[in-house]
Amino acid sequence: MDILFLDDWLVAVNKPSGLLVHRSLIDKRETDFAMQRVRNQLGRRVYPVHRLDKPTSGILLFALDPGTARAVTARFTAGQVKKTYRAIVRGFPAPAGEIDYALCEALDPLTDARADLDKGPQAATTHFRRLATVELPHGVGRYPTARYALVELQPKTGRKHQLRRHLKHIFHPIIGDTTHGDGRHNRFFYERFDNRRLLLVATALRLDHPQTGEPLVLTAPPAADFQRIVSALGWDT
C-alpha cells in the first residue's frame, strides 16, 4: 500500500479501486482487504475510523490504537473532518452549488446487524464545484454528442453512498456507477476508454490531530486509472 502519512497514532494510505476496507458479508469470497494489507505492512494492528466504498479509490485513514480510533471516529461522526473527492460525471452541472437532499438510510440487513430499513430520511448535504468540461462528438442515447464534467465534491454529512446518490439526484451521475449511474454512458466509457471502475476518488482529509490538536491535512494523488481517463478527456488538472 502507498503510505501517505504515518506517525505514532495514525496511518493514511492510498486505497486502490476494487479493494474492500475490511472483511464484509458483501463479498464472502474476498480474501484481500486494505486493513489486512496495512497491518501486514506495518507489522501491527490498525483500526478503521471511516470507510470508502469498494469501487472508490483514495485516501483511507486508520488509527494505531483503540483510543485514537475512538477519538477520530467521533470527529467523523460530528462532521469535524473535511473530506474532498473528485468525480467524472455525465453532463454539465452548475459551476458550483450545494445538494441538500435527505437520504433514506441505505442499510443492508446482511451487513448492518442493526439495520432499521423503516427509518425515515436523514439530512444530507454535499457541496460541489465544476473543474472542467468536455463535449465529445459521439452519440450516447438520444443526443448527438456526449457531455462530461470533472467535479470536486465535499460531503458535509456521511450518509452511505451519499455522493453517488446525490449526483444521481441532480441528474449528473458518476461514470462507472453500476448502481446509481447511467448504463449507456458507463458502456461508452468501457468501450472507448477501457474504463473498468467507478470514477470517484477521495483526494483529501482535513482534521485536527486527535493527540496534538494541530491541523492535519492529508492528500492523495488520484489513482493512475482515474488520471488516465482525465488525460484521455483532455483535462490538464
Does any domain span residue 237?
no
Classified as helix, coil or strand, 200 is strand
Does any domain span residue 137?
yes
pLDDT in tens, 183-235: 999 999 999 999 999 999 999 999 999 999 999 999 999 999 999 999 999 99
Burial bucket for residue 157 (CB in 10 Å: 0-12, 13-18, 19+)? middle
**Mean per-residue pLDDT for 176-188?**
96
Does any domain span residue 84?
yes
Inform me whether the pLDDT recorded for 58 exceeds 80.
yes
Enclosing domain of residue 185: 2-232
Domain count for the chain, please give it: 1
Strands in the chain per DSSP E: 2-6, 10-15, 47-48, 57-63, 82-90, 96-100, 125-136, 146-155, 200-208, 215-219
Does any domain span residue 89?
yes
**Residue 120: its pLDDT value, please?**
82
The CATH number that applies at residue 175 is 3.30.2350.10
Does any domain span residue 225?
yes
| Catalytic residue selected from 2, 7, 8, 53 | 53
Residue located via cell numbers 488516465? 228
Mean pLDDT of the chain: 92
Give the percent of the chain with pLDDT over 70. 91
Does any domain span residue 150?
yes
Cell of 185: 454512458
Instruction: Decide if 89 contacts 173 (C-beta within 8 A).
Output: yes
Does any domain span residue 121?
yes
- Within a 10 A sphere around the Cβ of 215, how many other Cβ atoms? 9
Whole-model pTM: value is: 0.92
- Residue 53 catalytic? yes
